[in-house]
Amino acid sequence: MKIGFIGLGIMGSRMAANLLKKGHELIVHNRTREKAQPLLDQGAAWAGSPADMAKQVNIIFTMLSKPDAVAEVALMGKHSFLHKLPPNSLWIDCSSVNPSFSRLMFVEAKQRKVRLLDAPVAGSKGPAEQAQLLFFVGGDSGDVKEARPLLECMGKAVHHIGGHGMGSAMKMVNNLLLGQAMVAFSEALVFGESLGITKQTMFDTLASSPVMAPFLNFKRKKMEQNDFSVEFPLQWMHKDLHLAAETAYETGAALPAANCAKELFTLAMRAGLGEQDFTAVYKVLKEKK
């Protein structure tokens, strides 16, 4: 079984590497070809375009930045893949997108007799490398059953949340918490520092208490050392909070705190921090001396 993988950024490159390591025959494509080279060196084949890939496989993974990118690669123009996939193929979209977009893609796929799962992930660069991701999956049970062994090559748990769009819905909820927790913790750090408490003392004191979100332990070293090198790009956290706000408009939910957090990420974007790690939102709050 040949598997296609499109989108070899921070996450996709590591996820695809794990499929290869588990012995799967992989064909890869990325807009920027150089990023595919390490995978080609490990035995993956190259497809010149998403459409070329679709002629050779009947399972395609996508791991792209945002809905526009997914729509472009799947649907738009002669290089897109959806119109070239054989009937009954399975498309597994791991990109973080909004649930109504996933449902729109499901309709587009169904018209072309292609099956779709939305299967975004929780876990960052490290968990992607170590095959420790969590998958939140939306779609038909039979398709989830078929995809599960492949997802388990890349992650430690596969949660089937519900029908089409529900994996993306769970991902919106997950990142709403993540973004707000990062803003809240950054604010607490800046406040504590203004009182003369070092970051190290705050981490030492809070790390074992229930008030600190456990994921912050993974960020501790970097935050203590003011190392904002990218694991989860700040621009994608900003995007996720924007997509959550759009989704809440559709459902009627009120997200006052999340929108406040979103605007701090907007300020971080305007300060040129979009390609740094999302922990860099701390810099927006930290007073300049």
Ligand X SMILES: NC(=O)c1ccc[n+]([C@@H]2O[C@H](COP(=O)([O-])OP(=O)(O)OC[C@H]3O[C@@H](n4cnc5c(N)ncnc54)[C@H](OP(=O)(O)O)[C@@H]3O)[C@@H](O)[C@H]2O)c1
- Out of 23, 32, 78, 208, the residue judged to bind ligand X by CB under 6 A: 32
**Rounded least distance, CB 239 to ligand X, Å:** 6
Read off the amino acid at residue 146: E
Give the span between the Cα atoms of 107 and 164, in whole angstroms. Answer: 10
**Rounded least distance, CB 81 to ligand X, Å:** 11
Please tell me whether residue 79 binds ligand X under the rule CB under 6 A.
no
Q: How many residues bind ligand X (CB under 6 A)?
A: 26
**Rounded least distance, CB 144 to ligand X, Å:** 19
Nearer to ligand X (CB atom), residue 7 or residue 139: 7
For the record, the structure tokens of 49 come out as 């375009």
Q: Looking at 8-16, 36-44, 151-159, 261-269, which segment touches ligand X (CB under 6 A)?
A: 8-16
- Has 22 been annotated as catalytic? no
> Whose structure tokens read 């990023």?
35
For the chain, what's the residue count? 289
Please tell me whether residue 274 binds ligand X under the rule CB under 6 A.
no
Nearer to ligand X (CB atom), residue 70 or residue 189: 70
Give the span between the Cα atoms of 112 and 170, in whole angstroms. Answer: 26
15 closest CA partner among 132, 118, 117, 168: 132
Secondary structure class of 20 (helix, strand, coil):
helix
Do 269 and 235 contact (CB within 8 A), yes or no? yes
Q: How far is C-alpha 93 from the geometric centre of its chain's CA atoms?
A: 10
Q: Looking at 6-14, 82-90, 154-162, 254-262, which segment touches ligand X (CB under 6 A)?
A: 6-14
Query: How many CB atoms sit inside 10 A of residue 88's CB?
Result: 9
264 closest CA partner among 202, 187, 174, 189: 187
Nearer to ligand X (CB atom), residue 76 or residue 197: 76
Please tell me whether residue 11 binds ligand X under the rule CB under 6 A.
yes
Give the span between the Cα atoms of 279 and 182, in whole angstroms. Answer: 7
Angle (CA) 117-67-227 rounded to 5° is: 105
Please tell me whether residue 231 binds ligand X under the rule CB under 6 A.
yes
Q: Which residues contact 55 (CB under 8 A, 6 or more apart)?
A: 84
Please tell me whether residue 10 binds ligand X under the rule CB under 6 A.
yes
Please tell me whether residue 4 binds ligand X under the rule CB under 6 A.
no
Q: 82 to 121, contacts with ligand X by CB under 6 A?
A: 95-96, 121
Nearer to ligand X (CB atom), residue 92 or residue 202: 92
Which of 66, 171, 219, 283 is catalytic? The answer is 171
Please tell me whether residue 180 binds ligand X under the rule CB under 6 A.
no
Give the span between the Cα atoms of 103 and 131, in whole angstroms. Answer: 27
Please tell me whether residue 222 binds ligand X under the rule CB under 6 A.
no
Which residues participate in catalysis according to the annotation?
A: 171
Under the rule (CB under 6 A), what is the footprint of ligand X?
Answer: 7-12, 30-32, 35, 63-65, 69, 72-73, 95-96, 121, 124-125, 231-233, 236, 240
